[in-house]
Structure 1
Amino acid sequence: MLGNRIIHRTADGVRIPGTWRHAFICNGGSYFLTDLFIYADGLIDCWELVTLEEFEQKLRRGWVATSLPEGGKASAHHLASWTFGDPYTWLTPDLLLAEVRDTVDELNGRPDSTARCLAAVDVFMADRTEDHRAAARAAYLAVPETVRHYALGDMDRKDRPLRVLVAGPGGRTPDERAEVVTQEQYDHAVAYFEEREQWRAKAASRVPADGPATSFAPAVKIYHSYPQRALEDPGKQALRNDYPAPITVGDLACPSVAHAYWARSVAEPEARTAVLAAESGAKARTVAAAAPRREGWEGARTAVMAGLLRAKYEQHPDLAAILLATGDATLLYDDADSDFWGDNGGRGRNWTGRLLELVRSELRAGPAGQALVD
């Protein structure tokens, strides 16, 4: 639950909402009490900005620590240091990962595991079959143990009516006590949920006319690479500007977007020819760097790149399909040579990623959807 722990990070003027929670980082055998910063686009800052997939890897490796050894050395931001004595933690990698995934859902206004559980209960209450009860019980068990008590928002009864309902008369509650549920207890639980439904029916609801105010799919990182040849199944590597996907722009035939961009950047025709003849996009950059820039290039380069990306994905439908498959995800483009074009761990402006998102939107609209933007 977010509570008042609302933060944000700014990615080139765009505010990405987030929250924080305490955690231990294990680095070099020592443990550091710090904060995890969790953002709505699925990025987590655990001493570096990582995707959910990378975060899970750090959990499994113990970089984000969920077990604390007897005698382990710990510190907190140079404020204090101590040695663990008889340490106890209820977290496991799976539990912490589930909590973080729930947090991302909550930041986006999507149903988290608790909401999915309550939806399964609604199905059971509408049609009280044992199959529906089993589905509700499974959904309850999918809620992280640390938040089950808060599922109903009832600080007096906690989640007891929920445990009794999914157990059923004669069944055992899904908790450590595993109590056998009596008919009377079950009837009280049913009455509780019937009253709860009546209260919910009276509550005012509002559906935003234009959909959620903010919504983020898990971010997609386009890692820095040096593709040398076209691949049968390139995956996200095909979204690199230096991926060998030839494009024709005006009267220029270019081996890749990178070649086209750097050829457009130079002032002299001889340099342009040399750039286009370079063996790779990286070498095209090197050749262009040694030549004078065109006048006004810095102000025009973003528009030039947008046009080149449109050409690439219009002329290569197979690569356009890869771009469209990223959905509405934030695209983080690594560029070791440029904090202007690359995100680079949150340090850069990520203009390539942003322009890819623009072109993706245009592709999705297509000819039939052009009226949407006219």
Structure 2
Amino acid sequence: MIGHRITYRTADGRRVPGTWRHAFIRNGDYFLTDLFVYADGLIDCWGLVTLEEFEEKLRCGWVATRLPDGARVSAHDLAVWKFSEPRTWLTPELLLAEIRDTIDQLNGRPDSTDRCLAAVDVFLADRTEENRAAARAAYHAIPETQRHYALGDMDRKDGPLQVLVTGPGGLLEALPDEPVTQEEYDEAVAYFEDRAKWNAERPSRVPADGPATPMAPAIHLYQSYPLRPSDDPGTEVLRNEFPAPLLIDGVTYPTVTHAYWALSTADPEARAAARDAASTFDARAAAAGAPRREGWEQARTAVMTSLLRAKFTQHPALARVLVDTADATLVYDDADSEHWGDRGGRGRNWTGRLLEVVRSELQAEQAGITPPVG
């Protein structure tokens, strides 16, 4: 739960809201630290990672949920001690579920608790056993550590919710020898009917233009050399180094990177060398030693925009990969440039941002929406 623990990091020239929670990192010894969770789906666990990468950090024990007796642990600049009969209620699956909920909450979208209560509403409107089973499954999808808070009732906790999704004659997990009575069930139904009246009186505001933050988890587009076509390249096709020939003003370039560096210089020999280079690394090297075109620094972002539009217009299969990223933040690695790459949150991530712009244009085209032209 977020509470009042709100922080921010700067990315793409904007502030990304986040929150934090305590955790142990296992790097040889165990270290008590904070996990920072951000609305774009990135988690800082001694380095920014995507949700998928965080899951791997949990699986390998880098983010530790198992605390062995006698293990050495420290909190930086505070204390050093050893675990003695440690008890923890977190598992990798439970912590991952809590993190997913936190990202949903930071984005103002329904988390597992909201989805459960929505399923309960469906059941109360149509009280079939099928709908009850769906509500029960949604209840169990709430992280176990959060179920007590599902109703926001500090007196009765989630008791009425458990009874409702269990039904008369069913067995509660905490009381496996005492079936739910009809009277208990009727009380739970009355509780939810009263709750519906309270909720109906609350004002609600939904942004008319949709959410301000992405609904999909962030996607990290890693830099790797060399990139070659494969049967299942995944999001690698979104990299500028990915082999996708471009026809620009009658000239064919092997990749966006070849075209970018060739167009960056007015020197005919350097431009030809960059265009014909065997690799994107060689293309950059061929152009880097030549003078840039006058005004290039101011024009380069517009040039890159045009190159990306050309790439995804000329390669529909690659465009589908870009569109399938939905509205995810695209975090682009570039070891050489803080203008084009994210660089661990220090860079401007312009390539990632321009990919998102081109993606929006492709999505508009799919929807039959033509952007106005002034």
Query: Which amino acid in the other structure matches residue 6 of structure 2?
Result: I
Alpha-carbon distance between aligned partners in 2 of 1:177 and 1:107, rounded to the nearest angstrom? 37
Equivalent pair of 1:8/1:17 in contact (CA under 8 Å): yes
Which residue does the alignment assign to 1:305? 304
Which residue does the alignment assign to 1:110? 109
Q: Write out aligned runs for 1:13-52 (5 A).
A: 13-28=13-28, 30-52=29-51
Equivalent pair of 1:12/1:349 in contact (CA under 8 Å): yes
Which residue does the alignment assign to 2:326? 327
Alpha-carbon distance between aligned partners in 2 of 1:178 and 1:57, rounded to the nearest angstrom? 39
- The yes-or-no answer on 1:253 pairing with 2:270 is no
Query: Which amino acid in the other structure matches residue 45 of structure 1?
Result: D
Equivalent pair of 1:365/1:372 in contact (CA under 8 Å): no
Alpha-carbon distance between aligned partners in 2 of 1:7 and 1:156, rounded to the nearest angstrom? 31
Equivalent pair of 2:335/2:343 in contact (CA under 8 Å): yes
Alpha-carbon distance between aligned partners in 2 of 1:308 and 1:323, rounded to the nearest angstrom? 15
Moved more, 287-296 or 324-333: 287-296
Q: 1:175 offset after TM fit, Å?
A: 3.2
Equivalent pair of 1:150/1:159 in contact (CA under 8 Å): yes
Alpha-carbon distance between aligned partners in 2 of 1:245 and 1:82, rounded to the nearest angstrom? 55
Q: 1:297 offset after TM fit, Å?
A: 1.8
Which structure's relative contact order is higher, taking Cα pairs within 8 Å and 6+ residues apart? 2
Moved more, 179-188 or 253-262: 179-188
- The yes-or-no answer on 1:286 pairing with 2:285 is yes
> For 1:362, what is the secondary structure of its paired residue?
helix
Alpha-carbon distance between aligned partners in 2 of 1:272 and 1:161, rounded to the nearest angstrom? 72
Equivalent pair of 2:162/2:172 in contact (CA under 8 Å): yes
Q: 1:280 offset after TM fit, Å?
A: 1.3
Equivalent pair of 1:43/1:49 in contact (CA under 8 Å): yes
Q: 1:355 offset after TM fit, Å?
A: 0.9
Q: 1:176 offset after TM fit, Å?
A: 6.3
Moved more, 52-61 or 10-19: 10-19
Q: 1:232 offset after TM fit, Å?
A: 4.4
Which residue does the alignment assign to 1:151? 150
Alpha-carbon distance between aligned partners in 2 of 1:175 and 1:140, rounded to the nearest angstrom? 15
Q: Write out aligned runs for 1:45-60 (5 A).
A: 45-60=44-59
Alpha-carbon distance between aligned partners in 2 of 1:122 and 1:236, rounded to the nearest angstrom? 39
Equivalent pair of 1:163/1:173 in contact (CA under 8 Å): yes
Cα distance, 1:179–1:103 mapped onto 2, change above 3 Å: farther
Which residue does the alignment assign to 1:8? 8
> For 1:292, what is the secondary structure of its paired residue?
coil
Which residue does the alignment assign to 1:242? 241
Q: 1:247 offset after TM fit, Å?
A: 1.1
Which residue does the alignment assign to 1:77? 76
**Deviation per residue, 1:210-264 (Å, 9 max, x gap):** 1223334201111112245444443211111121211122243212111111111
Q: 1:350 offset after TM fit, Å?
A: 1.0
Equivalent pair of 1:25/1:64 in contact (CA under 8 Å): yes
Cα distance, 1:227–1:235 mapped onto 2, change above 3 Å: farther
Query: Which amino acid in the other structure matches residue 369 of structure 2?
Result: G
Cα distance, 1:179–1:45 mapped onto 2, change above 3 Å: farther
- The yes-or-no answer on 1:63 pairing with 2:62 is yes
Query: Which amino acid in the other structure matches residue 270 of structure 1?
Result: E
Q: Percent identity at matched positions? A: 68
Q: 1:203 offset after TM fit, Å?
A: 2.1
Which residue does the alignment assign to 2:354? 355
Alpha-carbon distance between aligned partners in 1 of 2:173 and 2:69, rounded to the nearest angstrom? 31
Cα distance, 1:329–1:215 mapped onto 2, change above 3 Å: closer
Equivalent pair of 2:214/2:328 in contact (CA under 8 Å): no
Q: Which runs of 5+ in 1 are unaligned?
A: none
Task: Return the TM-score normalized by structure 2.
Answer: 0.95
Alpha-carbon distance between aligned partners in 2 of 1:57 and 1:243, rounded to the nearest angstrom? 26
Q: 1:10 offset after TM fit, Å?
A: 1.1
Alpha-carbon distance between aligned partners in 1 of 2:373 and 2:215, rounded to the nearest angstrom? 22
Cα distance, 1:314–1:178 mapped onto 2, change above 3 Å: farther
Q: 1:296 offset after TM fit, Å?
A: 2.3
Moved more, 233-242 or 269-278: 233-242
Cα distance, 1:265–1:339 mapped onto 2, change above 3 Å: same
Equivalent pair of 1:271/1:291 in contact (CA under 8 Å): yes
Tell me how large the CA RMSD over aligned residues is.
1.7
Moved more, 98-107 or 364-373: 364-373
Aligned length, in residue pairs: 373
Equivalent pair of 2:12/2:353 in contact (CA under 8 Å): no
Alpha-carbon distance between aligned partners in 2 of 1:296 and 1:166, rounded to the nearest angstrom? 66
Equivalent pair of 1:228/1:280 in contact (CA under 8 Å): no
Which residue does the alignment assign to 2:136? 137
**Deviation per residue, 1:4-54 (Å, 9 max, x gap):** 0111111132121111100000001x1111000001111100000001110
Q: Which runs of 5+ in 2 are unaligned?
A: none
Moved more, 78-87 or 6-15: 6-15
Equivalent pair of 2:12/2:342 in contact (CA under 8 Å): no
